[in-house]
Structure formats: C-alpha cells, structure tokens
Amino acid sequence: MIRAAQSWRGAACEAEPAPGDAWKAIEPAGLELSQPKAKGLAGAMRNLRGAAVVPGPVPADAGLAKPTAVATFKVKSGPPVTLTIGAKKDAQWYVRSSRRPELFLMNDYLARRFFKKPDDLKPDSDKGKGAGG
C-alpha cells in the first residue's frame, strides 16, 4: 500500500509509508501518527470483507449520496481503491467499493474501523491534551 486517505464527519487525514516501514501524515501537515493505529487502518483495508451482497438495485436508504465515511487507498498497482460507507441497516452498513460493481453489507465492527478523525490516529499520550494539559 502506498498511500491512505480517509474522511469522517468532515475531518480528513492522508498518510503514506515513510522509510523504515513507518507511516507519516501528509494531511494535516505535522500530525504525529501512532504507528500501530496507522498500520491498523491500512490493514483494515487489506483484510476487508463484506458480509453479504445486496441484491438488485441500490436501495434508496443506502446513504451513498451523503456517505458516513470515505476511505481511499492507493495501491502498488492499479487505480486507487475508494470505499464509500453509507447508512447503517440493523448491525451492518451499506458499502460500495470503487473496484466492484456490487453493493455490499459490512458488519458494524468492520465499518467502524474507518470512522477516524485525525486526532484518533495520534499516539494515545497526545489525545485529550488541551491548553492546560
């Protein structure tokens, strides 16, 4: 994997591998990344599996016009892969991959791995520190 970008609730983060198998933030500039968290996000995409294929036309309530989250991964060969996560249905989410024509349902715990804001990818020691912290 060459580069990963994702957005959730208006916040976006883009990262790429740096020398020595470490990840560095591209956007927002200067963001210190937790290496396990960055690698976990990349691994989540690599090991992605849908729970079921949605038969027939895309349901009106799939939520793809205003997605909950979008993750884009640039891979070593071929075009980038964009994962669009729409609305939740019971314990699953509607998901579309830019590399597949089908619409999928993904289990909640897998989809939530992509619901990250830049601060969520910081080392834990940096989270929650404010002006006086």
Question: The tokens 């956007």 sit on which residue?
Answer: 27
Q: Is the pTM of this model over 0.85?
A: no
Token duo for residue 95: 């998901």
Q: What is the mean pLDDT of the chain?
A: 78
Residue closest to 53 by CA, chosen among 104, 9, 10, 110 = 104
Q: For 59, phi and psi rounded to 5 degrees?
A: -60, 145
For 7-37, the pLDDT digits (tens) are 555 555 666 666 666 777 777 777 888 888 8
d(CA 60, CA 81): 24
Per-domain residue ranges for the chain? 3-123
